[in-house]
Copies of this chain bind each other. A is one copy, B any other.
Amino acid sequence: MDTPAPQRARRHGGRGGNARRSDTFRLDQMPWSVPCNTDQPTTPLNEDGCEAIHQGALYILAEIGVEFLNEEALALFRHAGCRVEGANVRMDADFVMDMLARAPAGFTITPRNPARAVPIGGAHMAFVNVSSPPSTWDMIRGKRTGDFESYREFLMLTQVFNCIHLVGGYPVEPVDLHPAIRHLDCIEQKLLLTDKPVHAYSLGRERVEDAMEMVRIAGGLSHAEFDAAPRMFTNINSVSPLRHDFPMIDGALRLARRGQPVIVTPFTLAGAMAPVTLAGAVAQSLAEALCAIALIQYAAPGAPVVIGTFTSNVDMRSGAPAFGTPEYMRATQMTGQLARRYRLPMRSSGVCTANIPDAQAMWETCNSLWAAVQSGSNIVYHAAGWLEGGLMASPEKFVMDCEMLQMIQRYFDPALSATTPDDLALDAIREVGAGGHFFGVQHTQERYETAFYSPIASDWRNYEAWERDGATDTVARAHRIYRNIVDSFSPPPMDEGIREELREFVARRKAEGGAPTDF
């Protein structure tokens, strides 16, 4: 139940540096493991409802069509016999279902450290850090525009927490780096500071190709070895309603043709970019995802794909998006039912609307995370650190969310519902008898160290003990853990030759000007 990772760095030099070991920080967390969701999924749709949404999605694809602002995609669809008029593509149910049948039901992403390989699909549930907020918030500095220093801190949290399995998009946008070379510095840091599978944005040819090359170098792989199995992943969004843009589709095709996974996640807010009724919003989201997946499977048969959902509702008072709502939960569960029908791995998210990591933030996040469980989601994006509808990342929220993720991991432990004679403990019950106490008996003593979930940020003491010790709220405790992790962080080992090769690649590509910034 602890991690071998971080030793607190000596923050004071000189004699202070010789100080006692008691200064060492150890995060008492659960070991690395990709949990298996042992629950039956929650199914708000009956068979007819499932069929109605499926037929709705197929109707959208066959009769209304989706725009692809990507010439290559249009050519591929034309070649496949779909009806292409301008950018609008309509496709028959048979084509869609034939293409879906090519997609694998599961796959494994193997990063530079093979011990961190992450299985996707089936009962597996992998958690991803928060991705893409432009700003960051912490309890000392408040809201700030994202920068490279914060970006690196979030990667440290991502690496240290065993319950985070995948390194998603930039946990905060480092606006102080020029966009032309940002992806080079960012992906280099991902590969240096973490050894888990990393994400690359599908934002133009150069960025995608650079990212694949850097992941290849970091893994010490030949081009053939890189292509042979999933090593990284991307996530693309549609421009809802009913549109896919150029760079996302371009990036998706580039990764898919090299066997790298693509998550397709429409962003369909009911009442804004999708119908105000959830069945319609889910059907539209599915249609937008299925046509992109069909394209990928046509271009790269068998390429690993994941169907994503990001259907929530807007606040009808303000038009702002709302997350962690009952509507969000049901939309996620319904999408899960269809994802299982299509035998595709599924992605959902750990999201909230709140502006600070307080009570509201956690009820919204808990709703999202339990919906992820109930929907059978295989990948949970933004599972740690998300605030303000995705406009801010917060290190304190990151720590809090990891407490929830660990609890979910523990919740799946079959030991909790085991019913062997040892678990039923009838002898212990007899031994203790009426009015006795179980703490002293051998059955308890043999098990008490591992019997129960042990929290990281929760304070379980009574009010008086908690008050004497400073009456900290959860944010303050999470802040302390965040600072301890960052101050004591040491990066995972990397071969010096590989590090040098990566450094040279980044330097060369920077010298060449990086990527165009006209998007």
Contacts and interface: CB of A to CB of B under 8 A. Distances in A.
Number of copies: 2
Interface of A: 38-40, 42-45, 48-49, 52-53, 56, 59-60, 63-67, 87-88, 135, 137, 143, 239, 241-243, 270-280, 283-284, 313-320, 322, 325-327, 329-330, 333-334, 353-367, 370, 388-389, 391-392, 400, 403-404, 407-408, 410-411, 413, 416-420, 422-426, 428-430, 432-439, 443-444, 447-449, 451-454, 457-463, 466-467, 471, 473-475, 478
Contacts of A422: 277
Contacts of A65: 434
A355 to B, nearest CB: 5
Contact of A322 (B241, B354, B413, B452): B452
Given A329-B411, A459-B355, A280 B475 contact: no
B359 A280 contact: no
14 contacts: A49-B417, A272-B438, A276-B443, A276-B451, A279-B423, A283-B426, A284-B429, A316-B449, A318-B461, A320-B460, A362-B362, A362-B366, A363-B365, A392-B463
B276 A460 contact: no
A358 B359 contact: yes
A150 B448 CA distance: 39
Contacts of A276: 425, 438, 443-444, 447-448, 451
A451 B53 contact: no
Given A363-B400, A424-B56, A462-B391, A439 B272 contact: yes
B419 A279 contact: yes
A277 B453 contact: no
B44 A458 contact: no
Contact of A425 (B88, B275, B367, B467): B275
A43 B329 CA distance: 20
A464 B176 CA distance: 22
Contacts of A137: 463
Contact of A366 (B67, B357, B367, B439): B367
Given A358-B358, A473-B358, A325 B42 contact: no
A451 B413 CA distance: 38
A453 B361 CA distance: 16
A499 to B, nearest CB: 39
Nearest to A325: B453
B88 A434 contact: yes
Given A278-B417, A366-B366, A366-B370, A448 B316 contact: yes
Contact of A424 (B53, B363, B403): B53
A446 to B, nearest CB: 9
Contact of A327 (B416, B458, B467): B416
A444 B478 CA distance: 41
- The 10 A-B pairs of least Cβ separation, nearest first, read A280-B425, A275-B425, A44-B417, A366-B366, A326-B411, A279-B423, A52-B419, A359-B474, A362-B362, A242-B434
A353 B275 contact: no
Contact of A426 (B56, B388, B444): B56
A114 to B, nearest CB: 29
B434 A354 contact: no
A361 B359 contact: yes
Contacts of A239: 435
A385 to B, nearest CB: 13
A65 B430 CA distance: 9
A358 B475 contact: yes
A452 B280 contact: no
A416 B459 contact: no
A326 B400 contact: no
Nearest to A322: B460
A434 B241 contact: yes
A467 B388 CA distance: 12
B460 A353 contact: yes
Given A64-B433, A276-B451, 10 more contacts: A143-B463, A270-B451, A272-B437, A279-B419, A313-B452, A316-B452, A317-B454, A353-B460, A355-B462, A359-B400
Nearest to A450: B316
Contact of A277 (B277, B325, B434, B451): B451
Contact of A416 (B56, B330, B353, B437): B330
